[in-house]
Amino acid sequence: MANDSLTMRVRAALSAVANPRTGRSIVADGLTQGLTVGADGAVRFAIEAPDSAAAESLLEEAKRAVAAVEGVTRVSAVATAHRAAAQSSPSSGGHDDPLSVRKRARIDKASDSLPGVRNVIAVASGKGGVGKSTIAANLAVAFAERGLATGLLDADIYGPSLPTLFGLKARPALRDGKIVPLEAFGVKAMSIGLLVDPDKALAWRGPMVMGAVRQLMGDVDWGALDVLVIDTPPGTGDAHLTLAQSKKLTGAVIVSTPQELALADVRRGVALFRTVNVPILGVIENMAWLEGPDGTRSYLFGRGGAERSARELDAPFLGFVPIFPELREASDTGAPLIAHAPDSPAAAAIRDLADKLATTLNP
């Protein structure tokens, strides 16, 4: 119970810090959020400062107070919504307004907005590095090629990849209090990586992640879209729950690799979305094999694990994407493969998936 008593002492130290607006304790005023105290004495929390002028000094004061507590080995704290909201362009901020969009008097529950978006597809994976972002980006371009008005939202807070995949660097503009998505390869695109510092996002607790995802959905001016593809963070967590709760989700696509281990990943993903009644539109097995010049296939990561998992879970299996070195090369050039090498077998494999998926969308 040593940790409990450390938590109490940390809380007491924070309670001694006063809200300059009211003179009361910042804890009593509810300005501290997401306090966690690790077994190793690492403390994390967020401060929601009452105004921009107070944010920096309040954060420093709170960090100093916590660092002085015996047993605390490390303090990480993040900035506030209000401080950032006072700036004129999107930048990193706190958890209620992590994207720092200046709020209008009343914004609908963002997750229930997206009025002009007919379909929202979440692309998810049990773990990182399976090609989820690559598939999501290429699917979006393939949808656009089919004539669907398409958006791509990179909500992978911990490792945003759209700026690299689509070669997007420009900081998005604000129009009427909404973020204007960038346009690339026929797709309206927005990445959390263009709005927040990923290093800061790493320290975010659940509520901040949820706030960020809600904002990305609600504060971006998506306009009328046939389909919005969302690249979600790897694993199953707060971002997925936020999306699932939004009621806007048409369904989820799970990307996995063939290893037997993938079975557990796929099962987790399927279970999460099913728990919240989000249909599984399909499972994709990526990096399925490498084809040699003579057409022989090497199954580097095992064979058919994701396909088997899908069958066992009674989820639709959408297809295989082999290992195509050109997929990686295209991503490195800042153009998704389907645009970079439209006639390649890899592009054909992605188009095939997009065709299958398109049949599951609302017209």
Ligand X SMILES: Nc1ncnc2c1ncn2[C@@H]1O[C@H](COP(=O)(O)OP(=O)(O)OP(=O)(O)O)[C@@H](O)[C@H]1O
Interatomic CA distance for residues 84 and 90, integer angstroms = 8
Least spacing, CB of residue 57 vs ligand X, in Å: 36
**C-beta of 204: minimal distance to ligand X in Å?**
16
Query: Judged by CB under 6 A, which stretch of 5-13, 96-104, 153-161, 202-210 contacts ligand X?
Result: 153-161
Q: Of these, 38, 71, 129, 177, which contacts ligand X (CB under 6 A)? A: 129
Told to check if 159 binds ligand X by CB under 6 A, we report yes
Q: How far apart are CA 37 and CA 76, in angstroms?
A: 11
* Three-state SS annotation for 227-245: EEEEECCCCCCHHHHHHHH
Rounded CA Rg of the chain: 22
Burial of 272 (0-12, 13-18, 19+ CB in 10 A): buried
Q: CA of 40: how far to CAs of 37, 71, 74, 78, 203, in Å? A: 8, 9, 9, 20, 16
Task: Tell whether 128 is in a known binding site.
Answer: yes
Cβ proximity to ligand X: between 193 and 211 the closer is: 193
Distance of CA 139 to the CA centre of its chain: 17
Contacts of 300 (CB under 8 A, 6+ apart): 287, 289, 290, 323
Residue 251 marked as a ligand binder: no
Looking at the DSSP bridge assignments, the partners of residue 249 are 120
Residue 127 annotated as part of some ligand binding site: yes
* Binding test (CB under 6 A) with ligand X, winner from 96, 145, 154, 156: 156
Is 256 a residue that touches ligand X (CB under 6 A)?
A: no
Residue 125: CB minimum distance to ligand X, A: 5
Q: Annotate each residue in 76-115 with x if it binds ligand X (CB under 6 A) or - if it does not, as one string.
A: ----------------------------------------
Task: Kindly list the strands in the beta sheet with 227-231, ordered across the sheet, starting from the edge strand earlier in the chain.
Answer: 182-184, 187-191, 150-154, 227-231, 120-125, 249-256, 280-286, 317-321
Q: How far is the CB of 130 from ligand X (least distance, A)?
A: 4
Count of residues interacting with ligand X (CB under 6 A) = 20
From the list 22-30, 131-139, 181-189, 214-222, the region that binds ligand X by CB under 6 A is 131-139
What are the φ and ψ backbone dihedral angles of 295, each rounded to 5 degrees? 90, -5
Binding positions for ligand X, 304-333, rule CB under 6 A: 321, 323-324, 327-328, 331
Which of 188, 286, 351, 357 is the binder for ligand X (CB under 6 A)? 286
The footprint of ligand X on residues 208-237 (CB under 6 A) is 234
Q: Which residues are CB-contacts of 310 (< 8 A; sequence separation ≥ 6)? A: 266, 282, 283, 316, 317
Contacts of 87 (CB under 8 A, 6+ apart): 52, 100
Residue 305 is labelled as binding a ligand:
no
Q: Give yes or no for residue 128 binding ligand X (CB under 6 A).
A: yes
Q: Which of 32, 133, 250, 309 binds ligand X (CB under 6 A)?
A: 133
130 lies in the site for ligand X, by CB under 6 A: yes
Site residues (CB under 6 A) for ligand X? 125, 128-134, 156, 159, 161, 234, 286-287, 321, 323-324, 327-328, 331
